[in-house]
Structure 1
Amino acid sequence: MAIINALVLEQMFLKHYQEWCLLSFSYVGDLDDSKDVVQSIFIKLLQKECNEPIKDLKSYINTSIRNESLKRIKKKQRTFSIENYSSEVPSYEHELIRSEISQTLFREIDALPDQNRKVFELCVLEGIKYENAAEIMGITVNTVKYHLKKTFKILRLNLRDVYLWML
């Protein structure tokens, strides 16, 4: 296995760094994040072992930067925090409300059917990929997706009052 030529990568990095940062910035909207994306792509490329050479390295890097930027956006959107909805100074009442909401959420998760709860815990709470969760549970990837779809539907239905109340 051949490692991608570090000298070629360094030259491309120096020549196209600003261009790639702007490409990432057009997706993520944050300069520091865009720099992190570009740098992480190059770190991955330096560590990557290839069986076959990459034919169009610049195009490959452009696509990698776009995909990594989209992943970063998706990850930020998933980060859900109740504090984002409250701009007031925390008080005893707010803490009580947060704890009640947390208890309600965990109660609803515990009330899910076993398979749905296990898939939800693996994929959502632990962040395991669908393929790995399917392997762990001994089911297909499509079954994992089905259980997640069903779980989100149940939770949306059961927690609609809590969600509206939170807003």
Structure 2
Amino acid sequence: MSTENNQLTIWIRNMKTSREAFEALYNEMSRPMYTVACRILKNRADAEDIVQDVFLKLLKRDDGEAIDNARAYILQTVRNEALMLLRKRSKEELRGEIPEDVPDGETEAENAENRTAVLGALSALEPTERDIFTLHVNGELGFEEIAGMLGMSLSAVYRRYRKAIKKLRSRIGGNL
């Protein structure tokens, strides 16, 4: 475990009782957390909310729970929260909430049909394939970043991404 990781783990353990530990953790991790959330969500306000939510989760977590790699744990939590928000919003749109930027009824119907097809195809992927695809396409993360976040080798990430693309093409057709 690196010195930086040891320090992060200590700050997480002590942040409930020490304002200094909380501030140190915030100063060290808020920018990388925001960057990950912003890359996935493409919305600054939502990214700020995710960072806030993750810090609250860290404050509420059980102190007895061991963390092997604190930085990866925190960034993975940010990633998970951001992806959950994207999924929640996708479901809301499919339930009939009309997005503000739809130009006409015909385009709206086409968009809804396309969204339904894409979401159906994405739901058919294995969870890891779906995460890799979403992080790369929606989150605009590089494969090396994704490999680090998921604790996978770079070649495994490439393989799963190619497999996801192949599955999506077979289900949706067209050019992915």
TM-score, with normalisation over the residues of structure 1? 0.45
Bigger RCO of structures 1 and 2 (CA < 8 A, at least 6 apart): 2
Bigger-Rg structure (1/2): 1
